[in-house]
Structure formats: structure tokens, C-alpha cells
Structure 1
Amino acid sequence: MADSNPERINFRDVQFLTSAPTLDECPEDSGAEVAFAGRSNAGKSSAINALTGNKKLARTSKTPGRTQLINFFRISDQQRLVDLPGYGYAKVARSMKDEWQRHLAFYLEHRECLRGLVLLMDIRQPLKEFDQQMLTWAVSGGLPAHILLTKADKLKNGPANNTRFAVEKALREQGLDTGVSVQIFSSTKKTGLDKLERKLGEWLALEESPPEAD
């Protein structure tokens, strides 16, 4: 069970580590990682930049879907954030999109240091096919997932909360609610930022090594 009061992580010190076109070129599979994934218009880069307080850390683009690499960001020697390739609007061949999906699936299923998946969805367009596919991979693999319903500043509080309730209900009905949590989020207004930080802190908490026997 995760520590209810994990050591608070300073996400303001996060730095770019490396980009990997394939899993073979990812950093060593050790420590703790949390991956961010979402369709190309979900505001993934904006959320990472809001979390870290660095508007230039994760590139934002007016042409969604340009991120084709797995980008790693260093929190500490044993803690990382991972920006997975966006999917949905990229003007690339179907074969390239299929290749991205294979990399995503392999990463989610085989990366042993992966502690959780943050799945971003535009609050006005939640639970699209890609979102459900990612959740299916996570739930079937026993990987905790946390849904960020982004761009919540585009809606008033009532409709935003109604969407969250509707998403939670849909997940229960589809059997995709095991280990999955949902929150409202806005990168622009920093809505839900503290809650996201707490969730990441739980997942990224490093286990202390047991004392050596005398």
C-alpha cells in the first residue's frame, strides 16, 4: 500500500533527460517512472509544463501529433517522468501510427519500473477509442492509471463535474475502473495541480531498502 504521506517531490527541478525512438534506447529499467499519454489534442505537453513550472520543458505545438519519440525527464537519479508519443491527429502514414502503437503497448507491458499511467483526455471529448485502448492495456496489466480531464477551464464547474461522473460511470460499466482514478484538470488555471502532484508522489515514492542483518 502506498504511503499516505509520501515525501513531497519538487517537480520544479525536473530536467529533460533523453529521447528514445525505440524501447531499446530507453534509460535503464530501474527506479520509478510515471508515463503521460493522450491523444494528440489532449494537452499533454501543457500539463507536463504546468506540473514542472517550465513552459519549454515539453514542447507544445499548433500541429498536434508531432511528438514521435518517447521523452524522458529526470526528477532524481531514480525517478523519471515519461512523455509518450501523442496519437490521433498526426498526418503520418497508417503504418507509422501502427508502429507507434506497438511501441506504446510494449512499453506499458514490459517496462518494469513503470509505476503508473497518467492518461489525458480533453474534458469535452473523453473516452475515445485510443483512451479506451490505453486503459485496457493498463487494467489488464495491473498498472494503476490516473485520468486527467484536461482543459476544464473551457467548461463551468457543473458541466465539468458531470463529465467526471459520466466518465467514472462508463469505466465501471466497461470494467475499466480497477486501479483507475479520475480528476478534473486545467493547465491554464492550474486546476487540480495539487491533486496530480499527490498522485505522482504516491507512485514515485521509492521503497527504502531493508536494514542488513547483523
Structure 2
Amino acid sequence: MVIDYYQSTFFYQSITNIKQLKTDNNDEIAFIGYSNSGKSSIINTIINKKKIARTSKSPGNTRTINFFKIQNTKYLVDLPGYGYANIAKNLKIKIDELILKYLHNRKSLKAVILIVDIRRCLRCQDYKIINLLTKRNIPILILLSKSDKLSKSMQKQTLNYFKKNETSIIKKNNVILFSCTLKIGMNYLQLFLKKYYKF
């Protein structure tokens, strides 16, 4: 199983300023999405460690860029969630700038996992991220998370609607149903990670 590659993964570094980034040229894959989209739970599921990425019922818990080192040669990067409502405006602006600077400038970034709650689909900040990454030719995998919250017929209907109405923005990207609870989409996610980590 691909998940075996992550057994030795450990927390490496948190940064609050882009100048704190280290340049060791190790391959990185970043995870991003709106707050409360299920990002931390997905990271924990991949690594198979329950609390390596913090989960919270309160959106906006991740306010730093967190690096997890895999086999001492690669990084899984947990970016702050966006769209949080319960933090000061100046802090929100600072976090948004940190995210965009990382995505725009990081040379070792090989791919991005964009997590979208299936009950909400794409929103303003998602489009901004996709446009930025598309210009950089960074591969994106879009996970429609929490798919278990919908019936199978609604999952299929939502996925079809998503593909039909968002064709112009995602035609070069992958989009799949995903659920940590039922492991929907896990095999595809693992293969995507394996491809760009070059395991």
C-alpha cells in the first residue's frame, strides 16, 4: 500500500513568515482549502496518525504553514485554511498573503491537493488558488470532501454538476469524490501522491 511510505512521517517545521522557508529542494505537495473542509483529517488519514495535523470544530485552527517530513527526503505541507471568520482582519490578511507567497514562489512545490466540501463546491478563494497554480503549471487534485454526508445518488449528481459547470476552470485538473470515513477516493489520492513524490 502507498500509505506505507508515510509511516515514518514526522512534524518538521511551522512558519509564519515566508523568509523562514528553508531551501533544501526536497519535493513538496501542499494541502489547502477553506477552513472546516476536512483538510487536517485527510492529512491524518494519509499518514495514518490520528493527531499529527490538528483538527478542530472551530474553523481557522491552522494559522501557520506546517511541514511534515516523509522519509527525510520529501514534505507534506499543511497550508492554513482560508475563509475563517473569527480572527482579526489584520491577521486574516497576513495569513492570506503567506499562502499566496508560498504558492506563487515555492520552486520545490510539485502538486497541490485542493479540498472542497462537497456540499459547497468551489468558492471565491478556491478560484484564486486554481488560477494561480494553473499559471504556474502546478498539478492540482481537487477532493470533494465529506462525500459520506450525501447519498450515493447525490454524490454522483454533485460530481457531474461540478464537472459540467466548472469545466473551464478544472478541465486540466483532477476532481474526485472523497471521504475519510468511508475511504472514498483514497486509492486515487495515494496514486496521485506517489506520482508527484516519485516514490
User: Could you state the TM-score of these two structures normalised by the residue count of structure 2?
Assistant: 0.93
Tell me how far apart the structure 1 counterparts of residues 75 and 169 of structure 2 sit (CA, whole Å). 26
Q: Secondary structure at the match of 2:166?
A: helix
CA contact (8 A) 1:143 1:179 kept: no
> Do structure 1's residue 143 and structure 2's residue 138 form an aligned pair?
yes
Aligned to 1:180: 173
Alignment partner of 2:114: what SS?
strand
| One of 28, 40, 43 as aligned partner of 2:38 | 43
Which of the residues 31, 45, 48 maps onto 1:53?
48
- State the identity %: 35
| Whole-angstrom distance in 1 between the partners of 2:131 and 2:6 | 29
Partner residue, 1:30: 25
Q: Could you give the per-residue CA deviations for residues 165-199 of structure 1, whole angstroms, max 9, x where no partner exists? A: 22222331xx3225311011111122111110100
Matches within 5 A, 1:58-73: 58-73=53-68
Instruction: Tell me the equivalent position of 1:109.
Output: 104
Distance in 1 of aligned mates of 2:131 and 2:159: 19
Q: Name which of structure 1's ranges 143-152 and 186-195 shifts more when overlaid on structure 2.
A: 186-195
Moved more, 65-74 or 137-146: 137-146
CA shift, 1:28, in A, is: 2.1
1:191 matches 2:191: no
Q: Structure 1 length normalisation: TM-score?
A: 0.87
Larger Rg: 1
Q: Distance in 1 between matches of 2:126 and 2:80?
A: 13
Aligned Cα root-mean-square deviation (Å): 1.7
| CA drift at 1:132 | 1.2
Name the aligned partner's letter for residue 118 of structure 2: I
Residues 8, 64 of structure 1: alpha-carbon distance in 2 compared, 3 angstrom cutoff: closer
Structure 1 stretches of 5 or more lacking a match? Answer: 1-6, 207-214
Counterpart amino acid of residue 185 in structure 2: G
Aligned mates of 1:11, 1:169 — CA distance in 2 = 35
Give the 3 Å change call, closer, same or farther, for CA 168–105 of structure 1 in structure 2: same
Over 3 Å counting, the alpha-carbon distance change for 1:122 and 1:179 in structure 2 is same
Q: Say whether the 8 Å CA contact 1:147–1:180 is kept in structure 2.
A: yes
Q: Closer, same or farther in 2 for the Cα pair 1:144/1:129, shift >3 Å?
A: same
Q: Which one of 198, 201, 205 corresponds to residue 194 of structure 2?
A: 201
Asked if 1:89 is matched to 2:59, the reply is: no
Q: Paired residue for 2:69?
A: 74
CA contact (8 A) 1:151 1:186 kept: yes
Query: Number of paired residues?
Result: 198
Please state whether the residue corresponding to 1:197 is helix, strand or coil.
Answer: helix
